[in-house]
Structure 1
Amino acid sequence: MIVRLNHELANVFGELPKTLFFEYRTLAATANCLASDYSQACLRWTGLDQSEGAAMPLPGPAAALPRRRIAKRNSWEFVAERQTQEPIAIIGLSGRYPQARNLDEFWLNLREGKDCITEIPGDRWSLSELYHPDRQEAISRGKSYSKWGGFVEGFAEFDPLFFKISPRDAANIDPQERLFIAACWDLLEDAGYTREQLSTRYRGQVGVFAGITKTGFALHGPELWRQGERVHPYTSFGSVANRVSYLLNLRGPSMPIDTMCSASLTAIHEACEHLLRNECELAIAGGVNLYLHPVNYIELCAQRMLSADGRCKSFGKDGDGFVPGEGVGVVLLKRLSQAIEADDQIYAVIRGTSINHGGKTNGYTVPNPTAQTELVRAAMEKAGIGARSLSYIEAHGTGTELGDPIEIAGLTQAFRRDTQDTQFCAIGSAKSNIGHLEAAAGIAGLTKVILQLRHKQLVPSLHAEELNPNIDFGKTPFVVQRALAEWKRPIIEENGTRRELPRIAGISSFGAGGSNAHIVVEEYVPPVDVERRSVVVSELQPALIVLSAKNEERLRERAEQLL
C-alpha cells in the first residue's frame, strides 16, 4: 500500500522520500510535512497558486501542527570530542559461521566476497514434502517457499566428556546451547584465560550474556519417542547462559536475552553496562542461532519474510526478504584501563552502546526510522564522537525493498545533525555473505568489523551490483562497499589544520518487534607510554611451546590449529 501511495504522490510532488509514511504515522503529520517542505507543489496541487491566497499556508489542522526540524551545521562542525564513559576493551573473540569453522576461514570468505548460502542440507530435514517453489501455494499449504540458508557445518558435534557432561544428558541439550558452550571455551583460550584464573584472580566475578531466540529442537521429541528412543530434547534460553556459568564456576550475572534479531548486540550492551556498574570484572557476551526444525522456515515464510531466490540483497535492487543464516559468536569484555594493566590482547574498544524501541508504528514488524536515528545518536554521544569520525557502518541490511531505505533514512538523519557531507562513510552487511543470523546477527557484524580492523581492509558487500532504486545514495553520507579495499583512516580539517582520526565503525541490529541496538567500535591504538611485554620469535630465535592432548591424533590436530 505504501509503495502505491508513494507512486501516486510522486505524480504531484516529484521525488519524495520512500520512507515518508514510516516517518509520519498520521495523515495530519504527513500533510504538515508536505505543506512545509513542498509548499509550492501543494499550492499548485490545490490551485491556490493562481488565487489571491497563493502566499498563504494551507488551511486546516496540518498548518497548525508544529514540526520538529533538525538544525543544519557546517559540514566540518563536530560534536565536542568528550569521553562520557570508560571504553570497554574486547580482549577475546571466537565464533563459527556458515562454511567457516573458525574466524580465519570466516575472514577468508569475507575477503574473497564468497556467498556462503546453500540449499538446506539433508541432515536437517527433507525438502521433498516441505518445499514448494510457488510463494502463495507454499503459504496456503503450510510449506516453505525457501530452500536456502547459511548453515554451520558440524552443528551437532560436541565432546560431552570434555565438559564433564554425560552423553545421555548432552543428547537432550539443544545444539545451540552446546555450540555456545564450545564457543565460550574457544573464547577463553583465545584470550589466554583458564578456569582457575577466572576463579582466583577474578573471584568468579564474570558475567555471561547470551542472545538466543530460536526454538524447535523439542519438536523432534514425539517422532523419536515413536521410534523407541529414550530422549527428551528441550530448549532452555536460561540454560544457555547458566550452563556456561556453572561449568566455568562463574558467579557474575548470567542471563539469556531475546529481543529477536537484536539479541546479541543487546547482550553486548548489557555486558558493557554491568562492567561499567562494577557488577562484574569480565563479561562473556554474544549470541547463537541454529535452524533445527522445518517449522522455523514455515513460520518465516508465512510472514513473507524470506527471500524467494536465496540471495540476501543488502541495499541491492529487487530485494524481497532475507535468507536464514546460522552461527555463534562471543566476545570477552573488560574495562579498557584494566585490560591495559593486565597486558591483555585488545582487538578493539567499544566506545558507546545504545538500545531502544521503535514504539507504535504502522505494523508490529515495521521499523521506525526516527527511533533508529535517536538510537545511533545516543551511541555516538556516549562515545563522544561526531558523525564525521565514523568511516564504516555495518548495517542491519536485511535486503528488503523498504526496510533498507528506512535504515538509510534513520542513519542519514543521525549523521545530518553533524554534517551535510555526502558519501564519506562506507556501509555494508555480512548478511549478504552468510544470511541473517537473527539472534547472532549482531555478533556476526561485530566480528566482521573486528576482522576488518585487524587487517585494515573493507570487504565487499554482495548482491548490490545494482543498488536499491528507492535509495538515493548520492544524497546520503554512505557508499555501499562493493569491492575489497584498504580501510584508510579519515582525515578531517578543523580550524585550518588536518587531523587523522582512528578507524571507527558503527554496528546496527534491529529486532522485528521494534527492539533496536547500536554500538560504536574503534580500533585500539596503544598509548605511547604503554609498552607491551612481548617475545620476538623467528627461525634464529625460536620459542618452545608445550602442547597437550588426550592422544597423538588430537595432539597433531592441535599443533596444526596453532600453526
Structure 2
Amino acid sequence: MTTSEPRPVAIVGMAAIMPQAPTASAFWHNITGGRYSITQVPPERWDPTIYYDPDHAARDKTYSTIGGWVREFAWDPIAWRLPVPPTVAAQMDEGQRWAVSAARAALIDAGWPKWSVDSDNVAVILGNAIGGEKHYQSSMRVRLPEMLARLQQSPTLLGLSPAVQQQIIDETRALYLDNVFEITEDTMPGELANVIAGRICNLLNLRGPNFTTDAACASGLAALNAAIDGLVDHQYDAVVTGGVDRNMAIDAFVKFCKIGALSATGTRPFDAGADGFVMGEGAALFVLKRLADAERDGDKIYAVILGVGGSSDGKGKGITAPNPVGQQLAVRRAWARAGVDPATVMSIEAHGTSTRVGDAAELTSLSAVFGETDLARGSVALGSVKSNIGHLKAAAGTAGLFKMAMSLHQKVLTPSLNFVNPNDNVDWDAIPFAVNTTLRAWPESPHGVRRGAVSAFGFGGTNFHVVLEEHLPGRHREPARVFAASERPATSTPTAAATATTPVVRKAPLR
C-alpha cells in the first residue's frame, strides 16, 4: 500500500462528559488514577426488579444490570447566554445537552469566541448511533391507545361491568401518562440524532457544515475522518467533532443480552476472564484546525493527527462477527495515509471490548500489521479505556482518542485496568504488544517523536484507525505551493532571448 504525504491536523480543544467525570480534567484524573467507573444501574434509569433475570434465556429480560453511567454534567444555558427556553430544554434528549455543553467547553478550550476563526467557517460533525432514549418513550406514548385497545379485549376485563371496565382503562392511561412527558413541537427536534450537530450550530451561531455520522461503535472516528477530510480540503477552518452516546435504556440492555454480548460481572479487556462488554455512555469532543494554522495562531496543541484509515469487513462469518481482514485494512490504510512507518508506534489504544474472541481477533489483526516490522516483543504499550468506563458505543473511539491525545500531551502512559490473567487465545510472547497496567512516563522515541494509534470497530463490520503523534513545533512544514498563472502566451513558449525583447500576446480570459 503506497504511503502519502501526511495532512497534519492539530487538536486544539477538548472536552468530555463521562461516567463519574463531568469534565475533561476529571476524566483525565480518573484515567491516570486508574478509577473504575462501572456501577449498578441508577434507580431513575430503569427498574431491575422488573427487567432483570439471571437466566440468559429468559424472554425480554436482561441478565446484566451494570454500566458506566453519567450522573452529572454542566448545564446552565442562562449563565451561558444561550437561547434555550426551559420548555425546549425539557424536550431535549440528555445526549443533546451533553453535546452542547461539551462543544462549548471544547471551543472555549480552543480560544473561542475571541479567536481568529470566522464563525462562518466552523463546522460541527459528530458521531452518534440510534439517538438517545427519549424516542423510545415518545413512541410508547403515541402507541398507548394500541395497548389500551388490547386491554379492552381482555376476557377478564370484559367480565366486569362497563363502568368498572372504563375505570380500569382510565386509571391505566393516567398512571402511564403521569410518568411520560407530553409530546410538543419540540419533541422531535429534541430526540433526533441528526439534530445533535445542528443544535450546537444553532445555539453557538456556527455556519460551517453540520451533520451526524452513524457507524455504530465506530461513529465517533467516522465523524473524525469526515471532519479531517473537509478541514484539509479547506471547506472550513475549524471543526468540532467527536462522539456522543446517551443510550443505556432497558431496550438496549435486553437486545444486547439476546446476542449474548454483555457482561454481568465487569469489563476486563485482554484478560482471560473477559466475558462480554459493559455498556457505558458519555461524550468526547474535540476542536480541530489545520496544523499550520494552529501553529501560526499560537494555539495550544494537544496532539497531531497524521491520518485516519477506514474499511469494511466485507464477507465474513456474520454481520456482527469481527473480521480480522477488514481490521487489518483499516490499520494499514491509516498508516499509509499518515505517511509514516508503523514501526514508529509506541502505544495503541485498542478497541478492546472485553470479549475473549473479539480481543484475540483484534490482537491477531494488529500483529499481522505491526509484526511485519522490527518492533521488539512487548515493546508497544497496549490499553483500552473501556476498562475504566465500559463501551461507549458511538463515542467509544473518541473516548480512546481523548486518552491517547492527553497521553501524548502529558507524555505519560496510563494504566489499563483489570488485566490479571492474559487472554490465553493470544500468544503474548510472539507479539509486539504488552498491556500497560501502571502510570508511567512515556519514554523518548528513538525516532524523534512519540506516536500512538487508536482503533474503533463498529457493529456491521465498519472499522477505523487513527495515527497520532506528539506536537513538536515546526516538525511539519507546509510544502511550497506553486500557483498556475491566470493568463498564458498564445504561442509556444519563447526563448529567454525572445522574451526579453518581444511583447507576449495573451488570450482574453474565459467567461
**TM-score (normalised: structure 2):** 0.81
> Which one-letter code corresponds to 2:33 in the other structure?
E
When residues 203 and 96 of structure 1 are mapped into structure 2, their CA distance, relative to the original with a 3 A threshold, is: closer
Is 2:210 the partner of 1:291?
A: no
Is 2:173 the partner of 1:218?
A: no
Is 2:44 the partner of 1:123?
A: yes
- Structure 1 unaligned segments of length 5 or more: list them: 1-78, 492-499, 531-563
When residues 128 and 155 of structure 1 are mapped into structure 2, their CA distance, relative to the original with a 3 A threshold, is: farther
- State the match for 2:6 in structure 1: 85
> Which one-letter code corresponds to 1:417 in the other structure?
E
When residues 484 and 96 of structure 1 are mapped into structure 2, their CA distance, relative to the original with a 3 A threshold, is: same
User: Which structure: larger Rg?
Assistant: 2
1:420 and 1:173 map into 2 onto residues whose CA distance is 49
Q: How does 1:375-524 map to 2 (within 5 A)?
A: 375-419=330-374, 421-491=376-446, 500-524=447-471
1:266-307 per-residue CA deviation (whole Å, 9 max, x = no partner) reads: 111110011111111111101111135211211111111101
**The 10-residue stretch of structure 1 (230-239 or 513-522) with the greater mean CA deviation from structure 2:** 230-239
2:48 and 2:137 map into 1 onto residues whose CA distance is 16
> Which one-letter code corresponds to 1:104 in the other structure?
S
Determine which of 288, 310, 314 is the counterpart of 1:355. 310
- Conserved in 1, the CA contact under 8 Å of 2:303 and 2:471? yes
Determine which of 104, 109, 119 is the counterpart of 2:30. 109
- State the match for 2:72 in structure 1: 154
- State the match for 2:231 in structure 1: 275
Aligned residue for 1:402, secondary structure, equals helix
When residues 116 and 224 of structure 1 are mapped into structure 2, their CA distance, relative to the original with a 3 A threshold, is: same
> Which one-letter code corresponds to 2:103 in the other structure?
C
Determine which of 122, 125, 130 is the counterpart of 1:209. 125
1:244 and 1:510 map into 2 onto residues whose CA distance is 27
Aligned residue for 1:382, secondary structure, equals helix
- Conserved in 2, the CA contact under 8 Å of 1:156 and 1:175? no
Offset of 1:334 from its aligned partner?
0.7
- State the match for 2:83 in structure 1: 164
- State the match for 2:62 in structure 1: 144
1:420 and 1:107 map into 2 onto residues whose CA distance is 29
2:466 and 2:372 map into 1 onto residues whose CA distance is 18
Aligned residue for 2:262, secondary structure, equals coil
Aligned residue for 1:322, secondary structure, equals coil
- Conserved in 1, the CA contact under 8 Å of 2:407 and 2:413? yes
When residues 175 and 160 of structure 1 are mapped into structure 2, their CA distance, relative to the original with a 3 A threshold, is: farther
1:382-411 per-residue CA deviation (whole Å, 9 max, x = no partner) reads: 112212200000000001111011101111
- Conserved in 2, the CA contact under 8 Å of 1:353 and 1:519? yes
When residues 441 and 207 of structure 1 are mapped into structure 2, their CA distance, relative to the original with a 3 A threshold, is: same
> Which one-letter code corresponds to 1:264 in the other structure?
G
Is 2:217 the partner of 1:261?
A: yes
Aligned residue for 1:329, secondary structure, equals strand
RMSD over equivalenced CA pairs, Å: 2.2
- State the match for 1:18 in structure 2: none
Of the two structures, which has the highest relative contact order with CA contacts closer than 8 Å and spacing of 6 or more? Answer: 2
- Conserved in 2, the CA contact under 8 Å of 1:209 and 1:257? yes
2:136 and 2:374 map into 1 onto residues whose CA distance is 52
Offset of 1:114 from its aligned partner?
1.4
> Which one-letter code corresponds to 2:13 in the other structure?
G
> Which one-letter code corresponds to 2:109 in the other structure?
D
1:528 and 1:300 map into 2 onto residues whose CA distance is 46
When residues 413 and 249 of structure 1 are mapped into structure 2, their CA distance, relative to the original with a 3 A threshold, is: same
Offset of 1:111 from its aligned partner?
1.5
1:382 and 1:416 map into 2 onto residues whose CA distance is 19
**The 10-residue stretch of structure 1 (168-177 or 215-224) with the greater mean CA deviation from structure 2:** 215-224
Offset of 1:224 from its aligned partner?
6.2
- State the match for 2:182 in structure 1: 230
1:455 and 1:419 map into 2 onto residues whose CA distance is 27
Offset of 1:528 from its aligned partner?
8.4
Offset of 1:145 from its aligned partner?
0.6
- State the match for 2:110 in structure 1: 191
Offset of 1:482 from its aligned partner?
1.4
- Conserved in 2, the CA contact under 8 Å of 1:217 and 1:293? no
Aligned residue for 1:449, secondary structure, equals helix
- Conserved in 2, the CA contact under 8 Å of 1:171 and 1:231? no
Is 2:291 the partner of 1:373?
A: no
2:361 and 2:317 map into 1 onto residues whose CA distance is 13
1:489 and 1:307 map into 2 onto residues whose CA distance is 38
Offset of 1:329 from its aligned partner?
1.0
1:318 and 1:486 map into 2 onto residues whose CA distance is 29
When residues 456 and 502 of structure 1 are mapped into structure 2, their CA distance, relative to the original with a 3 A threshold, is: same
Offset of 1:431 from its aligned partner?
0.1
When residues 214 and 156 of structure 1 are mapped into structure 2, their CA distance, relative to the original with a 3 A threshold, is: farther
Q: How does 1:92-103 map to 2 (within 5 A)?
A: 92-103=13-24
Offset of 1:249 from its aligned partner?
2.2
> Which one-letter code corresponds to 1:98 in the other structure?
P
**The 10-residue stretch of structure 1 (160-169 or 288-297) with the greater mean CA deviation from structure 2:** 160-169
1:133-176 per-residue CA deviation (whole Å, 9 max, x = no partner) reads: 2322xxx3211111100111226955367420111111111111
1:240-263 per-residue CA deviation (whole Å, 9 max, x = no partner) reads: 011111222222221101100000
Task: List structure 1 runs of 4+ shifted beyond 4 angstroms.
Answer: 155-158, 226-229
2:304 and 2:201 map into 1 onto residues whose CA distance is 24
- Conserved in 2, the CA contact under 8 Å of 1:160 and 1:167? no
Is 2:300 the partner of 1:300?
A: no
1:378 and 1:528 map into 2 onto residues whose CA distance is 23
- State the match for 2:496 in structure 1: none
Offset of 1:219 from its aligned partner?
2.3
- Conserved in 2, the CA contact under 8 Å of 1:290 and 1:326? yes
1:173 and 1:228 map into 2 onto residues whose CA distance is 14
Aligned residue for 2:51, secondary structure, equals coil
- State the match for 1:241 in structure 2: 197
